[in-house]
Amino acid sequence: MSVKKIAVLTSGGDSQGMNAAVRAVVRSGLYHGLEVFAVQRGYAGLINDDIREMDLRSVGDIIQRGGTILQSARCKEFMTPEGQQLGADNLRKRDIDGIVVIGGDGSYQGANKLSKLGIKTMGLPGTIDNDIPYTDITIGFDTAVSIVVDAINKLRDTMSSHERSSVVEVMGRHCGDIALYAGLASGAETILVPEVPFDLDEIASRMAGNFSQGKRHSIIVVAEGVGKGEDIAAEIMRRNGIEARVTVLGHIQRGGAPTHNDRVLASSLGDFAVRKLIEGDSGKSCGIIKGELVATDIDKVVNSKKQFNMELYELAKRLSQ
Ligand code: ADP
Ligand code: F6P
């Protein structure tokens, strides 16, 4: 067997389903006869040697919980070669030869460095942003989108009572996927994402035309990568005079119980990562493409950009008239 002791950590912005992924890594590792360790607070714990051994019970009662029992951190020291070496040394002194890193694109950069230092490394895409290439979906995205859709349903009720427009700012960093999927699923009239240019004059006059034809509300979803919802609302109101209210959903999008889709995805990817390590694979990102589990070089993943789904964007536009 190429690895005997493995570790798991969660890093960067947390996401719903990270706990399910940790559980899968620990239980799959133990099932295959490995010793499994957990690193607390991401790369900070690796540097501070905050590492403990896990057993079957240490991941009990967590599959349904948001957040991460291993906690997460943003760790500047790990951006330095000295920090990375210290992290690798702390693993080596316990004879830990493999690690599963669950996190977003920044965490993947760190995983790539660990792999180059000779630690057998697997990355799992854990982020609500859905901005990791070479996987159709990331762990947490499905839950975050459900939260946004639920919020928009509620906003619709009150906005139509008052004939207002609602500007909803959602997360996603530089990626418009949360806005796109939640906007399409909730029937938003307008979806603003950083990947596609837009014209505020056209948006304001379309909205005015819709109101004059009897529409009683308007939902505009703004991805944070475009700018502040507050500024977009002011610009539109200045153009068409329709009262707009802004809702910034913020960290609500990162909390709560993961959906069954996120739990299944996290469980499948966690187990897959362990099996890949056992097969002797390293330096890979585990993902799912068209229903198939795939392992892609992390180097390739961190140097690529996720393709925006223009077809879905055009569909949302056609259906929102
Ligand atoms: P996310 O993983 O959600 O994108 P961050 O971008 O904050 O979150 O990255 C999480 C952590 O990954 C950082 O705090 C840092 O410790 C590590 N990291 C990010 N970029 C690099 C890099 N270029 N080299 C090494 N480690 C990195
Ligand atoms: O990457 C996840 C994410 O929630 C982004 O959508 C957002 O831009 C960022 O993290 C917020 O970071 P923080 O939790 O540090 O405010």
| DSSP states along 273-318 | HHHHHHTT--SEEEEEETTEEEEEEHHHHHTS-PPP-HHHHHHHHH
Strand order in the sheet with 244-248: 190-192, 218-223, 165-170, 244-248
| Nearest alpha carbon, ligand 2 atom 8 | 173
DSSP β-bridge partners for residue 286: 295
Residue type, 316: A
Atom of ligand 1 lying closest to residue 103 CA: 2
273 marked as part of a ligand binding site: no
CA atoms in the 13 A half-sphere facing the CB of 212: 8
What is the predicted pLDDT for the residue at 54?
98
Q: Which ligand is nearest to the CA of 114?
A: 1
Q: Is ligand 1 within 6 A of the CB of residue 12?
A: yes
235 labeled part of a ligand binding site: no
* Per-residue pLDDT at 1: 61
> CA-to-CA distance for 64 and 56, rounded, in angstroms?
16
172 lines ligand 2 (CB under 6 A): yes
Query: What residue owns the CA closest to ligand 2's atom 2?
Result: 13
Nearest atom within ligand 2 for CA of residue 131 = 1
| pLDDT score of 318 | 96
Q: Whose CA is nearest to atom 13 of ligand 1?
A: 74
- Neighbouring C-beta atoms of residue 55, cutoff 10 Å: 12
Q: What six digits make up the tokens of 53?
A: 């051994």
**Could you read off the pLDDT tens digit of each residue along the chain, which spans 321 residues?**
689 999 999 999 999 999 999 999 999 999 999 999 999 999 999 999 999 999 999 999 999 999 999 999 999 999 999 999 999 999 999 999 999 999 999 999 999 999 999 999 999 999 999 999 999 999 999 999 999 999 999 999 999 899 889 999 999 999 999 999 999 999 999 999 999 999 999 999 999 999 998 888 899 999 999 999 999 999 999 999 999 999 999 999 999 999 999 999 999 999 999 999 999 999 999 999 999 999 999 999 999 999 999 999 999 999 987
Q: Which of 182, 196, 142, 220 is nearest to 310 (CA)?
A: 196
What are the residue ranges spanned by the domains of the chain?
Answer: 5-140+258-302, 142-255
Rounded to the nearest angstrom, the distance between the alpha carbon of 104 and the centre of ligand 2 is 10
**Contacts by 111-118 with C-beta closer than 8 Å and gap 24+?**
111/298, 112/283, 112/298, 112/299, 112/302, 113/84, 114/84, 114/87, 114/88, 115/282, 115/283, 115/298, 116/283, 117/84, 117/85, 117/88, 118/88
Q: Please give the distance, rounded to the nearest whole angstrom, from the Cα atom of residue 248 to the centre of ligand 2.
A: 13
For residue 24, the SS3 value is: helix
Virtual torsion, Cα 52, 19, 106, 95, nearest 10 deg: 30
Estimate the crossing angle of helix 260-278 against helix 141-162, to 10 degrees: 160
Q: Which residues are catalytic?
A: 129
Give distance in angstroms: CA of 43 to centre of ligand 1.
9
Would you say the CB of residue 74 lies under 6 angstroms from ligand 1?
Answer: yes
User: 111-139 as b/e, with b when 16 or more CB fall inside 10 Å?
Assistant: bbbbbeeebbbbbbbbbbbbbbbbbebbb
DSSP string, 218-261: EEEEEETTT--HHHHHHHHHHHH---EEEEE-GGGGG-SPPPHH
**The CATH number of the domain covering residues in 142-255:** 3.40.50.460
Same fold, 5-140+258-302 and 142-255: yes
Going from the Cα of 80 to the center of ligand 1, the distance in angstroms, rounded, reads: 11
Strand 98-103 to 190-192 pairing: unpaired
Question: Nearest residue CA, atom 7 of ligand 1?
Answer: 12
Assign a CATH topology to domain 5-140+258-302.
Rossmann fold (3.40.50)
Q: What is the pLDDT of residue 142?
A: 98
| DSSP bridge pairs for 292 | 289
Query: Is 106 known as a binding-site position?
Result: yes
Query: For ligand 2, is residue 129 a contact (CB within 6 Å)?
Result: yes
Q: Is the CB of 79 under 6 A from ligand 1?
A: yes
Residue 171 marked ligand-binding: yes
Q: Is 6 assigned a ligand-binding role in the annotation?
A: no
Q: Can you spell out the DSSP letters for 158-194?
A: HHHHHT-EEEEEE--TT--HHHHHHHHHTT-SEEE-T
